[in-house]
Structures are given as structure tokens and as C-alpha cells.
Amino acid sequence: MNNTKDILRFTTAGSVDDGKSTLIGRLLFDSKQITQDQLEIVQRISERKGMKEIDLSLFTDGLKDERAQGITIDVAYRYFQTEKRKFIIADTPGHLQYTRNMVTGASTANAALILIDARKGVIEQTKRHSFIASLLHIQHLIVCVNKMDLVSYDQSQFEQIVASFRDFAAKLDIVDVQFIPVSALNGDNVVDRSQHMSWYQGSTLLHTLENLSVANDINQIDLRFPVQHAIRVDDEQLKDYRAYAGQIASGIIRVGDEVLVLPSQMQSKVTSIQGMSGQVTEACAPQSVSIELSDELDIARGDMFVKPMNQAESMAQFSAMLCWMSAKPFVPAKKYVIRHTTREAKMMIKSIQYVYDLNALKRMEGVGELKMNDIARVDVQLSSPIFVDSFRKNKATGSFIVMDEQSNETVAAGMIF
């Protein structure tokens, strides 16, 4: 059995026209992930639409309304695997009005796949997608220059696009960018190497996805253990058992470690760690475990275990980047609820420093409101502190959501840095 197979989660962004659905369809089709019955359904629909060849985009276009309109309206998740990896694709629509979907898809991704139409080059939408990937601190960007068949597989066209993308991306916070010339329609450099672009020496898309190194994506340095709930047992076999269940957000915890519990600042020692397959002596993020301590402390959901010499910052007042996701605009005097790890508090947005203009990629100051899909830097005040690291250093403790107490909706996603 292959025990080293891991998961790569990536998000794809692109518009109706640049062939994103076709590219994913091609990836699934050429890596033999499409079954006979799925193929037959798509063949039937393609014929009804009067198409000569099968429409690869139909493998991913999900809901009834979307199929009628021919566009993707919500994040859809796709799965495939090779011998090396399991892949989870968050397929998101690319229009401006769907920034919230892009943020949703990007929030769980290790990598972002950006599509550029070889005929059009870097356009506003490319910049918007790349900006969001950088904002959500996605470490790896794979830029697919698609429709190379429509520019006669021209090397100089590809290189111009690469140069102009690099030019623009220099301003963003992105660690690793790779460029691949592809034709999703014909299958060039998606799974199989292109016969038309001998000038391209790099990897195919699938090979790139299989070999991206995601080892550093999870912070294994700073222990952060948000408590989900306490497990208590007191019966014949187990006397007065009390453990704290949660998923390790970052770092490593070992039996014998001294830990500090936030917010009480009480210190104790780890006496046992219950993993998913029994007792273990150490555990790392993102394992779900339950932890016993040597002292009987008053610990509840929302508390966090850290190391005494490496604490998260306790904050009730801070500035953050916010992506507004509700159709109802932000109301200045209103009290919202923040959820950060397993902790909740009341929250007020005191001021908007600026709203980011995603088209011009510049800040707009003096804006008094937040509408759906706006990205803004705001100052907030909480009713009680949360335990924070910079989002750049630790995604799990640098991120939060904002909920509306009346409507119950999630109205915003936030990042602290």
C-alpha cells in the first residue's frame, strides 16, 4: 500500500471564455478519470447542442440552471487521483461579481491555477485572480496560457505573456510561479506533452501538479491548539477522565510538554495524547486529537493551548483585510459576531481605512460602505480577545469569519496581517 500519497488542493479561476471548464474536463479525461456512463451522458448533451466533438466543459458544469446558462455560478469541488496524489479542485467562477466565490475556493487551496487566453494576454481579470491568490496567501501559482492552438503555438506570444505577468506579479506576495503553454481543447501539455511546442522544455500541467512541494504550507513550528470541546468520562473502566478535543491548527505537541492555556494563562503539562488510532507520544497539524493535562483546569471551547515561550497574540482591537460576502451592505453601528478558530466574540467595524479597487489594483480611501465582493482594510473592536498570529505566518490563526446575528449569514471573511 502506498502510504506516502498526500493531498493537493488547488483552485481554478477563469472566465466563461478562457476555457477553464474545458481545461479541467481535459485534465480529468486525459488522466482517465471519466467513466463510460459519464462520457455517454456528456456525448448525448453535446449532440443535442449540435456539437461535432464532445464538449469537455460539460464534465464539470454542475447545476441545472448553470447548464442552461452555460456558466458556473458557485464553487464546485472535483476530485481525481493519480498514483502520486489525491487532488481536490475548487472550481470557481471568474466574474467580478463572484469575488466571494474565488475567496471561498482559494481559502482551502495549496495552489492556484490561473488561466490566460493566449490571444488576449494578461487582462484585468488575470490581475484580479492573482491578487486574490496572493491575498489569501496561496504559495504556488500555476499560470496556464491556454488556446495556444489559436496563436499557432507561437513561442514569442507565450514569452510576451510570461514577461508581462512577471512584471505585474512582482508587486504581489507570491512565492512560486510557473508558466505552462497549453491547449485544453486539443490536450497540449495538459496530461500529455504537446507535439506542437518543441520549444517548451517545462512540465505538463499534470506533472507540475503532481510534483508541487506543499510540505511548508502548514506551520509546524508554532503550537496552536484551539479546543473544540471537552470529553469527560467517569464510569467503571475510566475514572474521572477529562480530555480536550480539537484539531491542531499548527505546530507539534508531545507528551510531557508544558502548555499554556489562553486566555486564563494557566500552565499545565500534557499527560496523554489520544490520536485517531490510539495513544501517541506526539502529534502535528492538522491532526485531530484529544489531550489530557496534569492539572484540573477550567477549560472550555474557544480556549487555546500554546507553548509558554511561544504565544499567540491576544487581541481585541486590530486592523484586518475583509472580503465582504453578503448582498446586504455593511452597517456601521451594527454588532456582528466574529468566529476565529473555535472562538466567538461580538465585533464592531469601527472604520474603513480603504477599499481595494480590484480593477485598477489600487486603494480607494474615504469610502464609507462595504458592498458584496468588496475587499477592504478595516479597524475592528471585539468584546473579548482572540489569539492571533499574522495570516502570512499562520493561516489558521490569522483568519476569521464575520456572521450577522439577525440573518445568521456569514457576511465576511477576514485576514489579520
Partner 1 sequence: MKYRLDYLQELEAEAVYVIREVFAQFQHPCILFSGGKDSIVLTHLAAKAFAPGPLPFALLHIDTGHNFQETLDFRDALAERMNVRLVVGYVSDSIARQTVTEESGPNANRNRAQSITLLESMEYHGFDAAMGGGRRDEEKARAKERFFSHRDAFGQWDPKNQGPEIWNLYNGRKNEGEQFRVFPISNWTELDVWEYIRQEQIPLPSLYFSHVRNCVKRKGSILADSPYLIPHPQDEKVELNVRFRTIGDMTISGALESSASTVAEIIAELKEMNQSERGGRADDFRSESSMEDRKKEGYF
- Which lies closer to partner 1 via its Cβ, residue 357 or residue 405? 405
- Which lies closer to partner 1 via its Cβ, residue 215 or residue 333? 215
Closest approach of partner 1 to the CB of residue 245, in Å:
6
Closest approach of partner 1 to the CB of residue 183, in Å:
26
- Which lies closer to partner 1 via its Cβ, residue 265 or residue 407? 407
Closest approach of partner 1 to the CB of residue 182, in Å:
23
- Which lies closer to partner 1 via its Cβ, residue 168 or residue 318? 318
Whether residue 309 contacts residue 275, with contact meaning beta carbons closer than 8 Å, is answered with no
Helix (H) or strand (E) holding 357: strand 343-357
As a whole number of angstroms, the distance between CA 214 and CA 284 comes to 15
Q: What share of the chain is helix, strand, coil (3-state, %, to 5)?
A: 20, 40, 40
Nearest to 293 by CA among 243, 352, 336: 243
CB burial string 43-60: b at 16+ within 10 A, e below: eeebeeeeeeebbbbbbb
- Which lies closer to partner 1 via its Cβ, residue 156 or residue 408? 408
- Which lies closer to partner 1 via its Cβ, residue 136 or residue 169? 136
Strand partners, 331: none
In terms of Cβ atoms closer than 10 Å to its own Cβ (0-12, 13-18, 19+), residue 177 is middle
- Which lies closer to partner 1 via its Cβ, residue 6 or residue 124? 6
Q: How many residues does the chain have?
A: 417
To 10 degrees, the CA torsion angle through 40, 42, 48, 54?
-100
Residue numbers at the binding site for partner 1 (CB under 8 A)? 3-7, 35-38, 41, 45, 62-65, 67, 73-79, 81, 85-86, 88, 100-101, 103-104, 107-108, 215, 220, 228-229, 231-233, 238, 241, 245-247, 252, 274, 276, 282, 284, 286-288, 290, 301, 325, 339-340, 342, 395-396, 399-401, 403, 405, 408-410, 413
As a whole number of angstroms, the distance between CA 284 and CA 58 comes to 40
Closest approach of partner 1 to the CB of residue 334, in Å:
15
Closest approach of partner 1 to the CB of residue 1, in Å:
8
As a whole number of angstroms, the distance between CA 131 and CA 389 comes to 22
End-to-end CA distance of the chain: 42
Nearest to 373 by CA among 27, 93, 97, 16: 97
- Which lies closer to partner 1 via its Cβ, residue 116 or residue 396? 396
Closest approach of partner 1 to the CB of residue 257, in Å:
14
Give the single-character DSSP code of 97: G
Closest approach of partner 1 to the CB of residue 120, in Å:
28
Closest approach of partner 1 to the CB of residue 236, in Å:
12
In DSSP notation, 97-133 reads GGHHHHHHHHHT-SEEEEEEETTT-S-HHHHHHHHHH
